[in-house]
Chain A
Amino acid sequence: MIDDLDQRLLSAIQQGLPMSPRPYAELGAQIGLSESEVLARLTALKQDGLIKRLGVIVKHRQLGYRANAMVVWDIPDEQVQHIGQLISRLEFVNLCYRRPRHGATWPYNLFCMIHGKSKETVLQQLALLEQACHTQAFPKQVLFSRRCFKQRGAIYTKSEPATAHG
């Protein structure tokens, strides 16, 4: 489990790593840790999977990836894991989750996200996905995004919510 200092470190680094020659020393100075302690803790958090990756977080929309579809399927419970794993291996898919159904209004239990430069490319990729993962027979919906009202990184600490991310 993570301790209070890890929490504070994650909270600080989620504001963005400083763009200066000794960024980890700067982060440490904000929360009372030495540079080597910061590096050791971040390394451990990464090894434990509490940091999935550390690096540049890009804004897809600003780079021309304007089409974004959330695709959802209603897959029988006994098949959903297998199909989810197949979908997640495709290069153009960037998220794939199982979520609960919500009565008759929302019978869908498998979600994936496809980013593309246009709706056409996203739909082409979806057609490839359906062929490769044999999902054609299952009910599905394609929800393209329109306006983005808010986009920010996950901030999991109780205090000092960060204000930026994409």
Chain B
Amino acid sequence: MLTPLHKRLLNDYQRDFPLSPTPYQDIALELGVTEEDVIDAFVELDEQDVITRIGPVIPPNRIGVSTLAAIAVPEAELESVAQVISAYPEVNHNYEREHRFNLWFVVIAADAQHLAQVLADIEQQTGYPVMSLPLMEDYFIDLSFKLDLHDD
């Protein structure tokens, strides 16, 4: 269950997490609770698997290179092909989507050569052609997400 403190932490600290020696103490002062309350609440959110972590969001292609790739796989093979693709450490998202191109994944690498190598390797391992759609322009500025956390 999410407490009011959990909800505040989820909604108000997706960006501009305090860059000070004692960030949890800073948050505690802002919210009128103790530092221990804040740390405990974050640990609970982590244990409940509601957050991935507290950390940075790095824009695509500023450090290293990345691409969004898609593959069209017969339904019966989807799960096994997905497992092959997910096993690559260079793959960081891998979703089934409702389309003929039914598997969509993001590949990141330190440089273009390594990226091309991974894509070629995936084609060879799976036996299906990979459609690579690297980012050309990012129109979005803010990646924080306003949550509606009313119980429903």
Contacts and interface: CB of A to CB of B under 8 A. Distances in A.
A10 B104 contact: no
B147 A58 contact: yes
Contact of B21 (A39, A56, A157): A39
Given A15-B53, A95-B140, A147-B95, A54 B39 contact: no
Interface residues of B, number: 80
Interface in A36-54: 39, 42-43, 45-46, 49-54
Contacts, number: 250
A52 B58 contact: yes
Nearest to B151: A64
Contacts of B97: 70, 143-146
Contacts of A144: 97-98
Contact of A102 (B43, B94, B133): B133
Interface of B: 9-10, 13-17, 19-25, 35, 39, 42-43, 45-46, 48-60, 62-64, 66, 68, 70, 82-83, 85-86, 89-99, 101, 103-106, 108, 110, 131, 133-149, 152
Interface of A: 2, 7, 10, 13-17, 19-25, 35, 39, 42-43, 45-46, 49-60, 62-65, 70, 81, 84-85, 87-88, 91, 93-100, 102, 105-106, 111, 115, 117, 141, 143-158, 161, 164-166
